[in-house]
Amino acid sequence: MTRKYFGTDGIRGRVGEGNITPDFALKLGWATGRVLGKGRGGKVLIGKDTRISGYMFEAALEAGLVAAGVDIQLLGPMPTPAIAYLTRTLRGVAGIVISASHNPYEDNGLKFFSADGDKLPDEVELAIEQELERPLNTVGPAQLGKVKRVDDARGRYIEFCKSTIPATMTLRDFKLVVDCANGATYHVAPSVFEELGAQVVAIGDQPNGFNINRDVGTTSPDALRETVVREGADLGVAFDGDGDRVLMVDAGGNLFDGDQLIYIIAKSRLQQQCLKGDVVGTLMTNLGLEHALHRLGVGFVRTKVGDRYIMERLKRDDGILGGEPSGHIICRDRTSTGDGIVVALQVLVALKSAGRSLGELAGEMQKYPQQLINVRLDRQREIVGLPEVRDAVESAEQELDERGRVLLRPSGTEPVIRIMVEGADEGQVAAIADRLADVVRAQVGG
């Protein structure tokens, strides 16, 4: 069955439109309680980021779950990976995150974790969708759920993050700028690094409900770069609004993306003899990472875009490391989902262990130039499989040989064909991308 409401990462959109409304959230809470609630003793944890609409959706979910007879534990503003961790350790039947991640405050979303801290399986999401089609019936007064707040959620998660690096290791050698994107890490990330000994300069740590991801965080790293240089810091760390992504900056203000951080962690794990399985990336992972890993003797595989698919492949092969260029990285030997704080700590451990800088380690991986072009369609229709387009792609792949890649794929959210060309020669890459875009536009015009 095709899912009607759930996407690859929950349900997301503009507040007040489509399914991002309080009445839908109430019904969704009820349906979730019906599917996952296990009578008295079963509890669902709810956390959120800092956008103003979180209050509204928290209350709506609370009402729906209580009506289904499910107890609730409220976590307040907490990073998405914290909800995954606390759902597991507090023995919840599920965790719900109210967040639109790296989107602006006008958007919001709802995403779910299982009792194990993983994304919900497809069959559970389908079961929830089926319940959504039924009339909402409230349980009897004696069976209504209860609600309480977890007062020590922040401290629990801070201690967990610290536990993911060796107990004897400190960060006293580092002056760090920590950009919290005015999001869910604002009261967590600076404390983690400070308690481990680092000197911390925090930015993007004054959320007001409206400024999440605005000119800060992983989507706007210039503020971090400028602050690192101005403060004479050793490194900068940027999170997105819900804390599951991370990018880093060196002392010179140079930005390093998820692919480069994955390489650093993979090499460190390899040297510690604890790297298991292939590293998992996506169709958008830079070819330079694949080649750099192969030089280390490390296998690499690609999945469809989305952390859900990365995790599925890691589980299938019993691997421990995967992620995306965006900085959504999974260290499965440390936690059950993408976690920006945990990933940053793993990179810092790698730097200390190697006695080298971020730039030196990342420099071992040559990032190949990428050209991305979107060709808009007048409607969703098949373009990629047309003979003229296939021939143009085959010709481009022959021209690049093994020194590059070509990817054409329709967007899953809008009538657009996304064209990506990657290779060692920047001029060649740009020329091929333009040529493919012209072929696609000709077919659209036809």
CA 70 to CA 88: how far, in whole Å?
Answer: 17
Which tens digits make up the pLDDT trace of 345-402? 999 999 999 999 999 999 999 999 999 999 988 766 788 888 999 999 999 999 998 7
97 vs 113: CA distance, rounded Å: 8
Q: Is 270 in contact with 329 (CB distance < 8 Å)? A: no
CA 252 to chain centre: 26
Active site residues: 101
**Annotated domain spans of the chain:** 11-151, 157-254, 256-342+351-362, 370-445
Q: Which two tokens stand for residue 387?
A: 């003979």
Distance CA 405, CA 50 (A): 39
Percent of the chain with pLDDT over 70: 97
pLDDT tens by residue, 18-67: 999 999 999 999 999 999 886 555 899 999 999 999 999 999 999 999 99
Q: Residue 93 and residue 393: Cα distance in Å, rounded?
A: 47
Contact at 8 Å (CB) between 41 and 141?
no
Which run of H or E residues covers position 54? Answer: helix 54-67
Beta bridge partners of 320: none
Q: What is the pLDDT of residue 413?
A: 60
The pLDDT of residue 187 is above 70: yes
Which superfamily is assigned to 256-342+351-362 in CATH?
Alpha-D-Glucose-1,6-Bisphosphate, subunit A, domain 3 (3.40.120.10)
The residues, any chain, with a CB within 8 Å of residue 198's CB and separated by 6 or more, are: 171, 172, 174, 175, 176
| 73: nearest Cα among 104, 42, 52, 117 | 42
Question: Whole-angstrom Cα distance, residue 76 to residue 97?
Answer: 10
Which residues, 6+ apart, have CB-to-CB distance to 126 below 8 Å? 1, 3
pLDDT at 446 over 60: no
385-408 as b/e, with b when 16 or more CB fall inside 10 Å?
eeeebeebbeebeeebeeebbbeb
pLDDT at position 134 is 96
The amino acid occupying position 244 is D
Instruction: Give CA 188 to chain center in angstroms.
Output: 17
pLDDT of 1: 57
d(CA 73, CA 87): 10
Give the separation between CA 1 and CA 300, rounded to whole angstroms: 31
Token look-up 């969704």 returns 28
Q: Which pLDDT belongs to residue 232?
A: 98
Where is average pLDDT lowest: 75-89, 254-268, 394-408?
394-408
pLDDT at 402: 79
Same fold, 11-151 and 256-342+351-362: yes
Task: Identify the residue with better confidence: 65 or 2.
Answer: 65
Rg (CA), the chain: 23
Which tokens is 124 given? 């559970």
Q: What kind of fold does domain 157-254 have according to CATH?
A: Alpha-D-Glucose-1,6-Bisphosphate; Chain A, domain 3 (3.40.120)
CATH architecture of the domain with residue range 370-445: 2-Layer Sandwich (3.30)
Structure tokens at 40: 């008295």
- How would CATH label the architecture of 11-151? 3-Layer(aba) Sandwich (3.40)
pLDDT digits (tens, 9 = 90+) for 135-179: 999 999 999 999 999 999 999 999 999 999 999 999 999 999 999
Report pTM: 0.92
Q: How many CB atoms lie within 10 A of CB 419?
A: 25
- Beta sheet of 147-149, edge-to-edge order: 11-14, 107-114, 94-98, 43-48, 71-77, 147-149
